[in-house]
Amino acid sequence: MKCIVCMTHVPDTASIIKIGADGKHIDETGIKWIVSPYDEYALEEALKLADEGKADEVTVVTYGPQRAEAGLRECLARGAHKAVHIVGGEKTLGDSLAIAKVLAAALKDREYDVILVGVKGVGTDNSQVGQMLAELLDLPHVSNVVKIDWNDGAVAVEREVEGGHEVVESPLPAVLTAQKGLNEPRYAALKGIMAAKRKPVEKIELSALGLDEDTLAGADATYNVRSLELPPEKAAGTIIQGEDDPQAAAAELVKLLHEEAKAF
């Protein structure tokens, strides 16, 4: 079995985000970039298949600027066999369809049995790329996956839905989007980190795929950023002291919930 994992390189979730000077992008000064946490679940599932002898090749693919190579190296250090870097993405950040078009163009002539994608990329959180990629490649897809039973030429997938889980069966090849709970991602061992430094990363320019980023971000764009704004600062909370008189504190809490929070 050959597995392809689509990875995106995102700001560390602990980063303090500031708006850039143009008002449309974040200020990248001092930002630490990491493999998107949901893509880690996708990668781990492919690596588990390799550990079990069910997959003989795990290839990680990303579409992003030069810094994204560090994310690919991280995936190689964890155990991926190959890495593909489609260089670009700065003008199409957040445009799910443009990203899916690029990935589809890069993958359409490759051999694979399954494509694993994180359910969303932390930072834009649109939860659209996996499904769009499947449609462009004319593949079945299952989203929000939390459990996979791999069968010969097919999968039985448990997916998260509102209020519970449902089980879906799908033939392979297919696109599966990984949700939290699917597995527990591994850390890279020192041996893997050293080996990853020597592994080649295949570089692909958009022009080699018959695509142009200016066109994707311009005439063909379905998504445009007009401006970015930080959420308003939260007002200071109210602390009710109830040690000496719990009954009075409870009454005060009910009053605040009714009059200020408008909870009822």
Residue 237 confidence (pLDDT): 81
Residue 94 confidence (pLDDT): 87
Instruction: Give residue-wise pLDDT tens across range 128-158.
Output: 999 999 999 999 999 999 999 998 899 999 9
Residue 259 confidence (pLDDT): 86
Q: Domains of the chain by range and CATH?
A: 2-217 (3.40.50.620), 234-264 (no CATH)
What residues in the chain have per-residue pLDDT under 70? none
Residue 211 confidence (pLDDT): 94
DSSP for the chain, written as a single string: -EEEEE--EEE-TT----B-TTSSSB--TT--EEE-HHHHHHHHHHHHHHHTTS-SEEEEEEEE-GGGHHHHHHHHHHT-SEEEEEE--SSSTT-HHHHHHHHHHHHTTS--SEEEEESS-TTT----HHHHHHHHHT--EEEEEEEEEEETTEEEEEEEETTEEEEEEEESSEEEEE-TTS--PPPPPHHHHHHHHHS--EEEEGGGGT--HHHHHTTT-S-------PPPPPPPP-----SS-HHHHHHHHHHHHHHTS---
Residue 126 confidence (pLDDT): 87
Residue 256 confidence (pLDDT): 87
Instruction: Give residue-wise pLDDT tens across range 88-116.
Output: 988 888 899 999 999 999 999 999 999 99
